[in-house]
Structure 1
Amino acid sequence: MASINTNLSALTALQSLKSTQSALSKTQGQISTGLRVGEASHNASYWSIATKMKSDNGALGAVKDSIKQSKAMLDTNTSAISKSLDYLNKMKEKLTAGSNPGANLDAIQVELKGSIDGLKSAASSASFNGQNWLNGDSGTVKLVTSYDGEAKKVNTLDIDTSKVQLFDDAANPTGGLLKAVSDIDIANPPNAQGYTDVKISAADLSTGDTLRVKVSGNTEISYDLVAGDTDLATLAANLNADATIGAEVEASVVDGKLRLTSLTSGKDVSGSFADTTVSADTAAAAGPPAVAGFSELTVDTAKLSNGDEISFSVDGGTTVSTFKIGSEKSIDELVSSMNADSAVSASVIATNDNGKLRLTAVNVANDVEATMKNVTKGVDTTNGQIAVADALASVDRAINDLREGSAMLGANKALLETQEEFVGVLSDSLTAGVSAFVDADMNEASTRLQALQTQQQLGVQALSIANQNSQMILKLFQ
């Protein structure tokens, strides 16, 4: 049936043309934007997933920027610490030279002051983005390392700045790793307290040993060891509790040595230790009328030093004779020196008995009892050397502290570099994931565009043909 009011062929052709044009418009949009899913209406599920992934990727981009800033911050602090170590090493060299007797401490102090000023400058200038870990209050700094999209939180790396805090205030330091270094003044030592370290082996401690101490300007005092003084810690405690010695020095154990520190500023301390070994009385059992008595001493020649004493008494007498050791370093040398000493040779004869020192009574009716005091002297110090020794110890501690702090910064920088690489890989993965969901396949889109353009042309021609049907009806009435 042909109708003048309704052209079904034209309607069909028009609907087909509209469909083709809609598809063509969509394809042209994909080509112009490069997106297959440009908005939620295109594919709500894909659009939602891609939007979240884009958001997480943006956060990872911020994390990468933060890591770069953190690395630059670590580099700034590491460089300042490295420069500070240079200053400290120079100070160590100068202080070592200052330990030599006769050193010009005033001139060395001028050089030390320059290094101290350099340390303060390095600490003050180590500022990055308003952050200065080397100068100011210490605490924990949290550096951004990653973003957890599922937990919706930022993960951080904690840096303990107390391990690299050089000064709490470089201008007027009251704390920090270099506080003790900043106070060094070897040219003005009266504020220092003298000390001496006495080297004593715990194996040498025994009842009757004597520790002698002298604080400059005071009388030498002594302490006789008791049965309980079997280790350095106990000995130090008993010395501090002693009314005489405890009033002048404070005893402590430092690096396995007994340290005696003056309780008065500007006072030096000297000390010595007498390790008394009592030999056994080896008088002949047959009795003094027939055989002269003798006594043997086991002498550790490695410990012989100027000032050691060999004491002996003959036939239980109250008179004790003493021979002071000088440069003798062997049993034979002791034998020779003692026999050449008229005071000794009048009572006893010295001989070498298989490596032991034998003292035999000259009078066959006498016995002999002998003892030996091996004196190990502590290090006598002077005012200047006190300051230098303390300063050198402070510098050494500072070098160790800064080395540990620099190692901590280096380890954390390595961790950040690894994290930066991981974040970069993760960001690339998210970018690829977003592309898989929303990006258009340009090869497919261009092919589809050509096909739709052809369909559009055919649709226009089909609509034109369908519109000519009305003209055919007109010819029926001619």
Structure 2
Amino acid sequence: MSIYRRTSVDAALYVLRDIGRDMYQTQRQVSSGLRVQKASDNGAYWAISSTLKTDQKAQSAIRDALGLAAATMGTAYEAVDSAIDIVSQIKAKLVAATESGVDKDKINTDITQLKDQLRSVTQSASFNGDNWVTVTDGDDPANPREIPASFTRYSDGRVEIGTLSYEVDLAPIGSTSSKDARYLVDDRSGGNGEYGVLTSSYFASEAGVSQDYVMLATAGNSAGQVEIGVSSATTNDEVNEMVVVVDKMLGQMTTVGSAFGALEKRITLQSDFAQALDDSYARGISRMIDADMEEQSSRLKALQTQEQLGIQSLNIANASYDTVRQLFQNV
């Protein structure tokens, strides 16, 4: 006598295997939150999402760089704004020195204190070791300062990092002039202060005054330069010349401050755009690889019910074997 496995038992086993396989896939999606977790799930979506993830990390690095640049620009702008206020006070002191009977030596004491404050402002205007208002040895004023601002991937696979440049920071064309003084102080030992508004003698030479007046003496070659200041021996004509030079300096300082403010605004706009791109990447990646948690949770519950019913069906199919076994027990 032979006992064979019944067709109903085989059918129940096949159903349970299918349910178990579906449950494994569904449980994996529910636990990981991903429907495309590896290349075998969907090779095309996996490849695209992997590339987008690397680009998203690059965009994150760009946003960090823009945040650092915004803080640096904010520091530079505040320094220029403060310096303009101090130089305006010096201009007012010089105008007051033209009044008859005024003690010019006392006025000069105030001017000296204000110039010391200018030095302090320009030297302390540093963020993370980067000072955009003072040029020192190692800096090249002829090269524009650039900030990483964007990451672009082209259709042919090429990638490119875009930058924002300090708009006033342009290489001079021809001979250097007062318009090339796009920093506050130029303390390079190999220069003569020409790239710093407060250390450049070009304002005096272009105004046609009698001496090469500067607000602050440069740490480089200052031969022939005269720091702005008054004494009892200073004539009103000389004071008037100083006022003219200081007024021209203020005009260029305003230009520098405007450039810093414009760049800070561009950085803010670019940072907002980079954040929007990052959010777009996140949404695109999510659509391709994320699982529909509501759908998969409902599916898991249904599969668990199907599994219970399948086990009951298998038990019913196996019950016939118990009947045969009981018959032989009575023999």
TM-score surpassing 0.5?
A: yes
> Bigger CA drift: 467-476 or 137-146?
467-476
CA distance, structure 1, for counterparts of residue 88 and residue 313 of structure 2? 94
Match of 2:298 in 1: 447
CA distance, structure 2, for counterparts of residue 42 and residue 3 of structure 1? 45
- Summarize the Cα distance change of 1:403–1:3 in structure 2 as closer, same or farther, 3 Å threshold: farther
CA distance, structure 2, for counterparts of residue 7 and residue 119 of structure 1? 99
How far off is 1:440 after superposition?
A: 1.2
How far off is 1:110 after superposition?
A: 1.3
Match of 2:215 among 181, 192, 195: 181
1:165 aligns with 2:183: yes
How far off is 1:116 after superposition?
A: 0.9
How far off is 1:6 after superposition?
A: 4.8
Match of 1:146 in 2: 150
**Amino acid corresponding to residue 69 of structure 2 in structure 1:** S
How far off is 1:123 after superposition?
A: 0.3
**Amino acid corresponding to residue 31 of structure 1 in structure 2:** V
The structure that has the greater radius of gyration is 1
CA contact 1:95–1:391 (8 Å) conserved in 2: yes
CA contact 2:103–2:232 (8 Å) conserved in 1: no
CA distance, structure 1, for counterparts of residue 108 and residue 126 of structure 2? 29
CA distance, structure 1, for counterparts of residue 19 and residue 104 of structure 2? 98
Q: Cα deviation per residue 1:6-50 (whole Å; 9 max; x = unaligned)? A: 555433322321221111121112122221212222111111112
1:156 aligns with 2:200: no
1:34 aligns with 2:52: no
- Summarize the Cα distance change of 1:170–1:398 in structure 2 as closer, same or farther, 3 Å threshold: farther
CA distance, structure 1, for counterparts of residue 17 and residue 181 of structure 2? 74
How far off is 1:74 after superposition?
A: 0.8
Match of 2:287 among 436, 443, 456: 436
- Summarize the Cα distance change of 1:146–1:9 in structure 2 as closer, same or farther, 3 Å threshold: same
| RMSD (CA atoms) | 2.6
TM value normalised by structure 1: 0.55
CA distance, structure 1, for counterparts of residue 96 and residue 23 of structure 2? 90
1:388 aligns with 2:216: no
* Bigger share in helix: 2
CA contact 2:104–2:232 (8 Å) conserved in 1: no
CA distance, structure 2, for counterparts of residue 163 and residue 29 of structure 1? 64
Match of 1:449, SS?
helix
Match of 1:207 in 2: none
Match of 1:57 in 2: 56
* Bigger share in strand: 1
Higher relative contact order (CA 8 A, sep 6+): 2
Q: Cα deviation per residue 1:408-456 (whole Å; 9 max; x = unaligned)? A: 1111111122212222222221111111111111221122112111111
Match of 1:403 in 2: 254
Match of 1:114 in 2: 113
Match of 1:140, SS?
coil
Q: Cα deviation per residue 1:357-381 (whole Å; 9 max; x = unaligned)? A: xxxxxxxxxxxxxxxxxxxxxxxxx
CA distance, structure 2, for counterparts of residue 14 and residue 53 of structure 1? 43
CA distance, structure 1, for counterparts of residue 245 and residue 118 of structure 2? 14
How many positions carry a matched residue from both structures?
Answer: 284
Where in structure 2 are there 5+ consecutive unaligned residues? Answer: 170-179, 200-213, 217-226
> Bigger CA drift: 449-458 or 416-425?
416-425
Match of 2:9 in 1: 10
Match of 1:79 in 2: 78
CA distance, structure 2, for counterparts of residue 113 and residue 172 of structure 1? 26
Match of 1:35, SS?
coil
Where in structure 1 are there 5+ consecutive unaligned residues? Answer: 190-382
CA distance, structure 2, for counterparts of residue 86 and residue 127 of structure 1? 19
TM value normalised by structure 2: 0.78
How far off is 1:90 after superposition?
A: 0.5
CA distance, structure 2, for counterparts of residue 92 and residue 169 of structure 1? 23
- Summarize the Cα distance change of 1:445–1:452 in structure 2 as closer, same or farther, 3 Å threshold: same
How far off is 1:100 after superposition?
A: 2.9
